Amino acid sequence: MRERDEGDRIAAIGRALERYLASQHFLDASRKALIPALWSEVVGQWYGRHTQVMRVWEGIVEVQCDSAARAQQLQLDSEEIIRRLNARLGEPYVRQIRPSTGVAVRSHARRGASGHEVYTSQAPSQAELDAIVLTATEEAWLAEQSACIRNEEARAAYQKALRTHMKLKHWKLDHGWQTCRRCGALYDPREGCLECR
């Protein structure tokens, strides 16, 4: 009975966290940030060494592979990887994995339907996120936000998600992203604010 009560409390904390992140427009951005961070853990060491998430948009994960054979194998394994990613995210967010080969680029332009260049932003690698160090003030805020969570495992998961989100924000600001004056979301100025679009 006690385990069920604790499980109910953890589920309630998860729902409260999800409502908060959604209300702050962080939920979609957090999922987009978490996918590259979770990639190696979800796909395993072999894929982790030979692939990298380049972009996440509208439930599509674009993955750079170091060979055509690995890209083909990733396509074959994509259904199971999608299932694992969605299980980690807690909802069916990922709907497609698009493997590719070739030269990895930080960002690139393509022609849209109007004939104008449309820029697509790239996600940070896990190594880039790991290299970002939060300030003492940010770490204190993070600890304060999670202090009410009694379950150590739930508290650690909550802190990990918030820490990843905060590091992603630093990465975006370091890479020229701006804060939208209208809605407050961070956006790549080459793409415009996706929240207001």
- The pLDDT-based confidence of 117 (bands split at 50, 70, 90) is very low
pLDDT tops 70 at residue 103: no
pLDDT score, position 120: 47
- The pLDDT-based confidence of 147 (bands split at 50, 70, 90) is confident
User: Please, what is the average pLDDT of the chain?
Assistant: 77
**Ranges of each domain in the chain:** 2-104+122-176
pLDDT score, position 160: 83
Could you report the per-residue pLDDT of 162-178, keeping only the tens digit for each? 888 888 888 888 888 88
Pairing mode, if any, of strands 51-57 and 186-187? unpaired
Phi-psi group of 89: left, alpha or beta (phi > 0 → left; psi -120 to 50 → alpha; rest → beta): alpha
pTM confidence score: 0.45
What single string gives the DSSP state of each residue in 95-161?
Answer: -EEEEE-S---S-EEEE-TTSSEEEEPPPPPHHHHHH----HHHHHHHHHHHTT---HHHHHHHHHH
Could you report the per-residue pLDDT of 61-71, keeping only the tens digit for each? 989 888 888 88
pLDDT tops 70 at residue 143: yes
| Phi, psi (degrees; rounded to nearest 5) at 56 | -130, 125
Most confident of 6-15, 96-105, 181-190: 181-190
pLDDT tops 60 at residue 118: no
Mean pLDDT of 69-86: 91
pLDDT score, position 101: 77
Distance CA 47, CA 34 (A): 17
2-104+122-176 to CATH, choices 3.40.50.10680, 1.20.1730.10, 3.30.70.100, 3.30.300.180: 3.30.300.180
pLDDT score, position 109: 44
